[in-house]
Amino acid sequence: MIIEGIDAPSVFLIKWRGVDVATCYSVREVEEYKRRSLETNGNLDGITVEYRENTRPCSECGAFVTSTNPEVDFCRNCFYAGVGVSREHDALLASLRALPEVDAAEVWHTGGGCFMLAITLANARLLTCTVALSDPDYREGEWFCDASLPDHGEPWYAFEWESLEAHDAATETGEYEDAAVAHAPLSDSDLLNLCRERGV
Ligand SMILES: [Zn+2]
């Protein structure tokens, strides 16, 4: 059922053969979705649109929370914007942003369910930070990183780059080895100290 003129916070769930494939927040978005599907598939077979009152608004933006985990109170868009993972590190982010040696500290979504903390220092150096892991069965006595943020209290793994440009160039070629200096494992206060040292 489509109700004209109703915008967020209520939602339109687009289904394909009964499975949720998209969430739209206005009639215009629904029409746009249909137009694109028609362009791609040549028809709208199997597609239905369901109107829902928003009984579970996102605590950040008011959109519809589609997570099946009842404890999640933010929407898919906010998830991809890093809201959930940022929240866990609210105190650290605030401390980082308060440092004169730090220009910006933000969570970047790096694809899929992957995030990293990017800290731009006052001298333009960049720290890209993710979780530090150790596993004696995998690499004895070595720390390595994963493409996600640590849970609160777990250690950080930081790569230090000359600049954002150096980071982007290495990401393109995949040649990290000499382009960045690794620091791990770091507690929250170690990370703050690293910023103080390297940001001047
Ligand atoms: Zn949201």
Distance 81 CA to ligand 1 centre (A): 9
Cβ atoms of 20 and 14 within 8 Å: the answer is yes
Lowest mean pLDDT among 62-66, 94-98, 189-193: 62-66
CB atoms within 10 A of CB 73: 17
Q: Who wins on pLDDT, 174 or 181?
A: 181
Cβ atoms of 40 and 32 within 8 Å: the answer is no
Distance 73 CA to ligand 1 centre (A): 8
Q: What is the pLDDT of residue 6?
A: 44
Distance 183 CA to ligand 1 centre (A): 33
Residue ranges with strand state E in 25-113: 47-52, 102-111
Q: What is the pLDDT of residue 155?
A: 96
The per-residue pLDDT for range 41-91, each reduced to its tens digit, is: 899 999 999 888 878 888 888 777 878 888 888 888 888 878 877 888 989
pLDDT tops 90 at residue 182: yes
φ, ψ at 169 (rounded to 5°):
-65, -45
Mean pLDDT of the chain: 87
pLDDT tier, 9 (very low <50, low <70, confident <90, very high otherwise):
low
Distance 171 CA to ligand 1 centre (A): 29
Global pTM reads: 0.69
Distance 191 CA to ligand 1 centre (A): 29
Q: What is the pLDDT of residue 67?
A: 82
Distance 161 CA to ligand 1 centre (A): 32
